[in-house]
Chain A
Amino acid sequence: MDQKITGRAYVLGANIDTDQIIPAEHLVYSLSDPEESRNYGRFALSGVPPALAGLPEGHIPFTEGDRWRSSFNIIVAGNNFGCGSSREHAPFALQKAGVRAVIAPSYARIFYRNAVDGGFVIPYESEEDLSDLIATGDQLELDTAANRLYNSTQGKSHALRPLGDVGPIIAAGGLFAYARQQGMIAT
């Protein structure tokens, strides 16, 4: 896990469910084929209603047109991020689009597990809801050693909760890498 993750913020509200992260009609694509799996990046967050996409103004597309990489790589959201279905395609789609970390006060359990165990994105919990304190496009720096988020656009800093029990899994790069480190499965 990199100690510093920098990038531009993409801000969303509360209860962003997995259908908004990657609509069900797109779940048919291969996740392993390098070309085909780009569709997940392209359609990432395409289910968010336009007025709520990229707060506070809204109507900011996460990816432009046919592009599969986003210019935003840190998601800031409200409570209960990733609620809904168990689709691992959701954190995968965010990673494919270039997202490194999500910052929200709370997560739905399966999304959180998938993000950690698959090693896709780091699901950081914020002490307070930052979705109305940070604006889409703000330049952020995430310090994973200090558990702090710096907003250089606004000159503010915010506390994040330590990753706790899942820290070693994230640091290893996912469940399989962790299990190998621990000798739980053969290398």
Chain B
Amino acid sequence: MPAMTITEKILAKAAGKTVVTPGENIWIKVDTLMTHDVCGPPTFQIWQKEFGENAAIWDREKVVMFPDHYIFTEDPHANRNVRILREFARDRQLPNYYDVQSERYKGVCHIALAEEGYNLPGTVLIGTDSHSCTSGAFGLFSTGVGNTDAAFILGTGTIWEKVPASMRFTFEGESPPYVTAKDMILQILGDIGTDGATYRAMEFDGSAVQALSMDERMTLTNMAIEAGGMNGIIAADEKTEAYVKARSNAPYELFRSDGDARYRASYRYDVAAMEPLVAKPHSPDNRDTVRAVRGTPLTKAYIGSCTGGKLSDFRMAASILINQKVSVPTFVVPGSTGVARLLELETYKGIVLREILEDAGCVIARSSCAACLGGPADTIGRSVDQDVVISTTNRNFPGRMGSKKSEVYLASALTVAASAVNGHITDPRDFM
């Protein structure tokens, strides 16, 4: 049997084959289909139109729905979408729905998928969201699709995919405390560009990746799409298994790349030699060192989203913001209600994280995607006019966070927190 990468092995299993080759088109079985309030309603509409009024969902247990995008808004159209999601879940008796108006509400889908135990190693997870690649941090194949593909899965449980060639990103060395997963992925984006991994699997490995927490591993795989990647993936290890077992009893299977598997390209990095990075406006690959842009005046700071709204991000922010005051409006949006709860339980130097963030003057919002993608006009933290924002989110294309005239710098929670204190871009090492 020829050597295969972890992505090829998972796809082969899902296609019922022993071997798959990059470039080959295959039909695969889907284990989990995830959707949310923006793409769920049009997906249901297509499904109904194509499969008919009395159509059956291929597997009700395998459909997971998180309202998360446009939640706390007065926008009537946005609220209608949440209502459609709710009614669909009720009418079709879908057990894995997390309603806004209930204690089950979670917030950002990619974080909630992890917390609720849906990220099972060796499985195939397809989501109607480009950041569905996040789940690959758990050693599974995950990718984003549109409404038509999702509707097809809803009816058949299958989808076609072209097997991607893999690119390997190996991080070795001991990570200094000021180098985060965000800096690691911004490094890659600067090296390969926003189309450097189009239709490729991005596989992350090496001792410095294994040393990352699951939260931080998710930051790496989350931004695979920013390089055009089809999926991001990190082989599961003891840390992954411990996380999964604490949240799910479902079976899973561990896969690893063969030692002689073929890669389209291989990159090696020594994290000990790395430093804090930013992506400058208006592209995630417009990388620079924080040092090079330090002093850039800011009007807003933002810590949130599937990329930068996890517990680890707020721990980092709190370690900078303790006994400090922010000097620009700073928005804290916990990615999930689970993260929000932990902000009230976890402490840094004996002080509860939420208290540290509040005392520093941060505005703490309710969990949702919020201003990461702009959203309706009344979205909290949305950029206006010529705002210059530093943010832990994932994209800074023109208008992404709201105003077309605004500028967005992407950085780690450490860099965002340090910059929020000074009101201009600041190297977090100044506070460490």
Contacts and interface: CB of A to CB of B under 8 A. Distances in A.
Contact of A174 (B78, B148, B155): B148
Contact of A185 (B156, B375, B397): B156
Contacts of A19: 373-374, 395, 397-400
B228 A88 contact: no
Interface in B161-182: 162
Contacts of B49: 32
Interface in B9-48: 25, 38-39, 41-42, 45
A87 B39 contact: yes
B194 A88 contact: no
B45 A28 contact: no
A184 B373 contact: no
B149 to A, nearest CB: 5
A28 B195 CA distance: 28
A66 interface: no
Given A15-B283, A86-B132, 20 more contacts: A19-B399, A24-B373, A25-B375, A25-B376, A28-B77, A28-B376, A32-B49, A47-B398, A49-B398, A49-B404, A86-B144, A87-B39, A87-B146, A88-B147, A106-B198, A109-B199, A110-B130, A114-B147, A118-B146, A179-B152
Interface range on chain A (Cβ under 8 Å from partner): 35 or more
Nearest to B76: A28
A31 interface: yes
15 contacts: A28-B75, A31-B45, A84-B130, A85-B129, A86-B128, A88-B42, A89-B42, A109-B228, A110-B146, A114-B148, A117-B148, A118-B148, A165-B25, A175-B149, A185-B155
Interface residues of B, number: 50
Nearest to B405: A49
B230 interface: yes
A16 to B, nearest CB: 9
Given A47-B399, A110-B146, A175-B148, A85 B373 contact: yes
A83 to B, nearest CB: 6
B50 interface: yes
Nearest to A37: B42
Interface string B225-245: 000101000000000000000
A164 to B, nearest CB: 10
B230 A109 contact: yes
B196 to A, nearest CB: 10
Interface in A1-49: 15, 17, 19-20, 23-25, 27-32, 47-49
Given A49-B404, A86-B129, A174-B148, A29 B77 contact: yes
Contacts of B41: 30
A108 interface: yes
B195 A87 contact: no
A80 B78 CA distance: 29
Contacts of B38: 27-28, 87
Given A28-B81, A110-B145, A83 B195 contact: yes
Contact of B144 (A27, A32, A48, A110): A110
Interface string B388-421: 0000000101111010100000000000000000
A174 B160 CA distance: 13
Contacts of B395: 17, 19, 84
A83 B228 contact: yes
Given A84-B397, A106-B198, A110-B145, A25 B129 contact: no
B211 interface: no
Q: Which of A30, A49, A110 has the most CB of B within 10 A?
A: A110
A96 B336 CA distance: 35
